[in-house]
Amino acid sequence: MINNKKFNNSEIYFIFSILKRLSKKRKSQIIFNFLAILVSGFAEFISLGLVIPFLGIILDPNIIWNKDYIQKISGIFGYTSGDQLILPISIFFIFSIIFANGIRTFNIWFTLRLSAAIGSDISSQMYSKTLNQPLLMHLNRNSSSVIVLLTKNTSQSANAIKSFLQIISASIISLSIIFLLFIVNPSITLLIIILFGLSYLSLAFIIRKKLSYNSGLITSEAKKLVQLVQEGIGSIREILLRNNQILFVNKHNISDKKFRTKFAENTFLTSFSKFIMEPIGITLIASIAILMKSQNYASSEIIGLLGTFALGSQRLLPSLQELFRSWGSIKINRADLKAIYNFLNLPDFVDNYISNKPIIFEKNITLKSIRFRYNKETPMILKGLNLVIKKGEKIGIIGPTGSGKSTLIDILLGLIEPNEGEFLIDNINVLDKNNSHNIKDWRSIICHVPQDIYLSDSTIKENICFGETRENINIKDVISASKKAGIHSFINKLPNKYETFVGERGLRLSGGQKQRIGLARALYNKSQVVILDEATSSLDNETEKSVMNSIYKLGNEITIIMIAHRLTTLQNCDRIIKIKDGQIASFNQSDKDLNLQQ
């Protein structure tokens, strides 16, 4: 009886679960591949079956001609002697060999192309699944784990699926060859099955645990390597100042050596069997020849039988080796398959719904008794917070670190859901479970401008229209948004104007220019609510003042919510709200006078 729990944690279960997620087109291609493999197996059977007639007709045409059914079939084509059969049988034999090799080559090509397509599908699904996870998952998951998941785990899982398809191909071809050899001589074939079968099974039993252990270690070290690269690049200024490059290099060398050593070890463990099995096969053929000679078999029988088993072994051994290597590849990639399986089975929290009917925001944003904590082990961040923001207001938010400002912003953005409380836009419940589109409709009219604006290595125009295809960009709206953000005159002075490339993460722009592009992005999207999350904290006073003047000139059609450390940033706000210990606290004139980080 199959142990379901054990099977549900096996590599084959993971592979089938991943394959179930493929498109109908890809599944049809897998079926076609299977049928082509069956044709290849049949071709191998025919080509190998013709070895004895071919060698027999070459050595002594009469041996074949003396068979009654051969004479009857030959008579249909006008042949009257055995010598006349040499050419047609030789041509048919050569054609069968060419066809068998041709269909086998096609199968290899098609399997590799199919594996690549499946790998691409898995990669696309993984990327989509990543982007469709809620914000909390991204906050709790190490970025290096995500990178490894989308690169190494995805690539190696595709390799495992390729190996699975190759196992099917090698199995069918091996069975076809064995079946033909069994017809020729059951005793010798049975000996071959026992000898090779026990040898491969013994090797598999010996190395399987080592392969699985190495698989987990390789995945673990891959994550460490990515993390080390991220840490090294992210803290390059500190490393150069302290001159402690050797510390990071040593850590990298240790992980890299483990990663590559175990990878090399796994490659050897799945390949060395070839050098054991080939001498065994040659020894077996030589033993058969000596045995038949000692029993006074005719030379023609010995040559015919040896020719069949020699060619059979020459074709069987690579197939058996492919079986063993592919099995090893699947074992090697067990950790990758499990990681992909687990991630693909996470629920989607975001769908492809596109808001065509945004929420009409006319009066108030209302938060009632909002309570939130990130998980059961952490304390409450927001503790019954109440807040009403009127349309067109410019609200400033201050508070000490850890008071809940960023959490409040994420709730306002609709990126995290409070544990308790109500979130209303006018009279519409944004969190209504029966109208899940409400939260997406709300997101379509709100925009977030963080302290560190992400800019892709593309043109200014494309960065303002971030997420929009070039064909759909409305340049009039781009210019209008840029003018309101106070950056149009700067862009117009550039040689390529809006087609100017900004460099990786906006390397060629100043801090103030990047913030203005972020603001222009919000205005291009025609956002009714703009949240500035410490957006000017890294700017000097003059630049900050200039950017804030642009913001205050936007008019009452846009509601502005600003988090800032410097109170001078918020001095022209309609209201300043102070958050303390997860609740709205009173804001006194003495707070303004401090003009320090809150």
Q: Which of 61-70, 220-229, 333-342, 346-355 has the lowest mean pLDDT?
A: 346-355
Residues 6+ apart with CB under 8 A from 167: 322, 323, 326, 327, 330
pLDDT at 454 exceeding the cut of 50: yes
pLDDT in the model for residue 597: 37
Residue 293, class by beta-carbon neighbours within 10 Å (0-12 exposed, 13-18 middle, 19+ buried)?
A: exposed
Q: Quick one: which of 362, 371, 430, 424 has its CA closest to 583?
A: 371
As a whole-number percent, the residues of the chain with pLDDT over 90 amount to: 1
CA distance 509 to 523: 20
Q: What angle do CA 506, 510, 511 make, to 5 degrees?
A: 90
Look at the block and give the residue holding tokens 């005793």.
187
pLDDT tens by residue, 250-278: 888 888 888 888 878 877 887 777 777 77
CA distance 455 to 465: 11
* Structure token pair of residue 14: 């993971």
Q: Which of 217-231, 485-499, 531-545 has the lowest mean pLDDT?
A: 531-545
pLDDT at 595 exceeding the cut of 50: no
pTM over 0.75: no
CB 532 within 8 A of CB 449: yes
For the stretch 366-385, what's the b/e string if a residue is b when 16 or more beta carbons lie within 10 angstroms of its beta carbon?
bbeebebbeeeeeeebbeeb
Residues 6+ apart with CB under 8 A from 231: 248
State whether residue 537 is helix, strand or coil.
coil
Question: Going by DSSP bridges, is the β-strand pair 428-429/420-425 parallel, antiparallel, or unpaired?
Answer: antiparallel
Residues 6+ apart with CB under 8 A from 402: none
As a whole-number percent, the residues of the chain with pLDDT over 70 amount to: 83
pLDDT in the model for residue 346: 79
Q: In what order do the strands lie in the sheet with 382-390?
A: 382-390, 364-372, 420-425, 428-429
Look at the block and give the residue holding tokens 């070839």.
274
CB 212 within 8 A of CB 334: yes
pLDDT tens by residue, 267-317: 788 777 777 777 777 777 777 777 766 666 656 566 666 667 777 777 777
H, E, C per residue of 31-42: HHHHHHHHHHHH
